[in-house]
Amino acid sequence: MKKKNVIFTANRGYALKSSRMNIIKRFLDAGYTVVIATAEDEESRYIEECGAVLEEVSFNRGGLAPLMDYKAFYRLKSIFRKYRPILVHNFHAKPVILGSIAARSILKDNVKIINTITGLGHAFIKGGITSKLAGIGYKLALQRSDITIFQNSDDFDLFIGKKWSSKEKSILIPSSGVDIKKFSYKVRNAKKNNIKIIMLGRLIKQKGIPEFIKIAENITRDFPSVKFLLAGEEDLIHPDAVTKEWVESHDSVKYIGRLSNVIPLLENADILLFPSYREGVPRVILESAATGLPTVAFDVPGVREAVVNNETGFLVPFKDIELMQKKLINLIKDNELRVSMGRKARLYMENKFDYKKVEEQYIRIYQKCGLNV
C-alpha cells in the first residue's frame, strides 16, 4: 500500500498554525500522516499535539546565509528520504527554494511539489546581488515543482515576466484568507475622542517600524490624545532588525510586545497604520478589516490587494510619509468617515477573503494532484 505521507515546510510553526491549520486537519482526518518541517516553537508544538509529526528545521529568514542554508537543505533531504512523501507543500522563500530542489532530487517523479509564494521580503527589497541570487534560486526551484501559488498579482506577474515560473503551472489565490467569524465586526463609537492607532508586525525596518514611529512623533505633537500602539516580536537575527529598546526609547509609541491573541487589541483600536514595504497579502490587514478597522498603508505589492483605496482605507505612494500623515489625520478628525470605511472593510473581507473560500481552492488543487482530501 502506498504511503500516505505529506510534508508541509515553512519558516515557523506560526505560519502553519495561523494560516494552514484547517488544511492540516483535513489531511489528518483523511488518514494521511502529516509532517511539518519547520522551526520548533510554541505553534509547531501545538500542531504536533493535534496529530502532526514535527521535524525541526532551522531556516535563515534574512537573505543569504550559506552555512545555515546548507544545513537546512541537507536536513530537508534527510526528512524527505525518511518519509518518502507523496506531497510536499512549501511556504516562504527558503523552504520553497531549498525544499523544492531537495524533494525532487530525493523523490524524483514520485512526489507532487506545490509552492506558495507568500511574499517577497528582504532579498527583493534590498536588491543587488541578493535579489539576483534569490531569482536564480526561485527559477531552479519552480522548474522542479508542479504548481506555484501566488498570493498577489504583482508577484504573479513578476515571476511570469522573468520566466521564473511558467504560466501553465502558476495559480493566483489572493491571501490565505481570514476567519470572519473569529474576527467578528465590532461596532465602534463614531464620536470617540481618544483615538487608538495600532500596528502589528515583526520589529524589522521593512515592516515600516521606523516610519510608524516617525509618524507617531509628528502626529502626537498636534494630537496629544491620540495613542499609538505597536505589537510584534523581535527578530534579532534579521539584517533589518530593530530592537525593542530602540522602540521603547520613543515616548510617542507604546510597545506591547508579541500577542498570543490579537483580537482584544483590534477590537479596541480605531485605525490600522501599516507602512510595510512589501507583502504577500498581509494577514494583519485582513484581520483588522474584518473587525471594522480602516487601514492607512503604502501602495505596495500585497497591501494593495487588501485595501480598496478611498473605500476601506487609504493607500499612499511608497515612502510618502507626509501624505500618509495627512490621510491619517483625515481619519482622526472625521469620525463618520472612520466608521464608514471600517464597515466597508468588513464587507470586503466577507466578499473576497473568507478563508473557507480560499481553502476550498487549495483543496481542489490537492485533489487534482491525486490526493483524496
pLDDT confidence band for 120 (50 / 70 / 90): confident
Return the half-sphere exposure (C-beta side, CA atoms, 13 A cut-off) of residue 339.
10
Name the pLDDT band for 1 (thresholds 50, 70, 90).
Answer: very low
Spelled out in words, what is the top-level CATH class assigned to the domain 5-177+354-368?
Answer: alpha beta
The residue among 306, 316, 310 whose CA lies nearest residue 340 is: 310
Which residues lie across from 170 on neighbouring strands?
148
Q: How confident is the model at residue 60 (pLDDT cuts 50, 70, 90)?
A: confident
Q: What is the pLDDT of residue 30?
A: 96
Helix, strand, coil percent values for the chain (each to nearest 5): 45, 15, 35
- Contact present, 152 and 281 (Cβ < 8 Å): yes
The predicted model scores a pTM of 0.90
Q: Which fold has domain 196-352?
A: Rossmann fold (3.40.50)
Residue 105 has pLDDT above 80, yes or no: yes
Contacts of 246 (CB under 8 A, 6+ apart): none
pLDDT of 125 higher than 70: no
Angstrom distance (rounded) from CA 321 to CA 319: 6
- Of the chain, the end-to-end C-alpha distance in Å amounts to 17
**Rounded mean pLDDT of 302-313?**
97
Weakest-pLDDT range from 49-58, 88-97, 117-126, 281-290:
117-126
Mind listing the pLDDT tens digit for each residue in 191-232?
777 899 999 999 999 999 999 999 999 999 999 999 999 999
pLDDT of 62 above 80? no
Contact predicate 92/10, CB 8 Å: yes
Q: How far is CA 42 from CA 12, 56, 115, 270, 328, in A?
A: 10, 12, 24, 30, 36
Q: For residue 167, give Cα distances in angstroms to 142, 162, 233.
A: 11, 11, 37
The yes-or-no verdict on residue 134 having pLDDT over 70 is yes
pLDDT above 90 covers a percentage of the chain that reads 86
pLDDT tens sequence across 234-285? 988 888 899 999 999 999 999 999 998 999 999 999 999 999 999 989 999 9
- Cβ-proximal residues to 322 (8 Å cutoff; 6+ apart), any chain: none
Handedness of CA 281, 287, 292, 293 (dihedral sign): negative
The pLDDT of 108-128, averaged and rounded, is 82
Q: How far apart are CA 156 and CA 133, in angstroms?
A: 19
In the predicted model, what is the mean pLDDT of residues 33-37?
Answer: 98
Domain spans in the chain, listed from the N-terminal domain onward: 5-177+354-368, 196-352
Query: Given this chain, do its domains 5-177+354-368 and 196-352 carry the same CATH topology?
Result: yes
**149, 44, 178, 159: CA torsion to nearest 10:** -20
Cα(29)–Cα(15) distance, rounded to whole angstroms? Answer: 21
Residue with cell 480598496: 308
**By CB neighbour count within 10 A (0-12 exposed, 13-18 middle, 19+ buried), where does 347 fall?**
middle
